[in-house]
Amino acid sequence: MPNTPNDGTNSISPKPTIVAWLRDRRIIAIAESNYATIEPVAGATNAGYGGQLYIPLWTRLPDLRHIEWVLDINLFSDPKTDVCLGAAYNKKISGNIVGFTVIGMTNFPTGTTIFAEVVAVGPP
């Protein structure tokens, strides 16, 4: 799994899975999604992907029984690119799993990995 910029490399600052406890006993949790690697397109003249990019991703937040609200979805690529990843659309929540589609722009190098970090609220 690729690392996000929020991942700690030492034991002092590891990435938390529970970010905060709210007064009504719900929690704010964070988790990384699965990832997708961009494959070469048949007949492409360049070494990357040309055209619109639609990638389905999902995240399971094991610290939540069910997700009440998704606060934020941060998108990342590895290696980091200057190409716009767009946004996460079509969010669907089922239990403690949230699925979404990442829509992006053109010219991602082949082999680029796309993944996300999801912050959500729900009961423990």
Domain ranges of the chain: 18-122
pLDDT, position 8: 52
Q: Which of 8-12, 36-40, 70-74 has the lowest mean pLDDT?
A: 8-12
Per DSSP bridges, beta strands 113-122 and 69-78 are antiparallel
For residue 97, the model assigns a pLDDT of: 95
The reported pLDDT for the residue numbered 13 is 39
CATH no., domain 18-122: 2.60.40
Band the pLDDT of 85: cuts 50, 70, 90: confident
Residue 47 CA to residue 107 CA, distance in Å, equals 9
C-alpha to C-alpha distance for 16 and 7, rounded to whole angstroms: 9
Cα–chain-centroid distance for residue 41? 23
Identify the DSSP state of 8: -
Q: What is the pTM of this model?
A: 0.75
**36 vs 42, more confident:** 36
Residue 52 corresponds to which tokens in the numbers above?
A: 């619109």
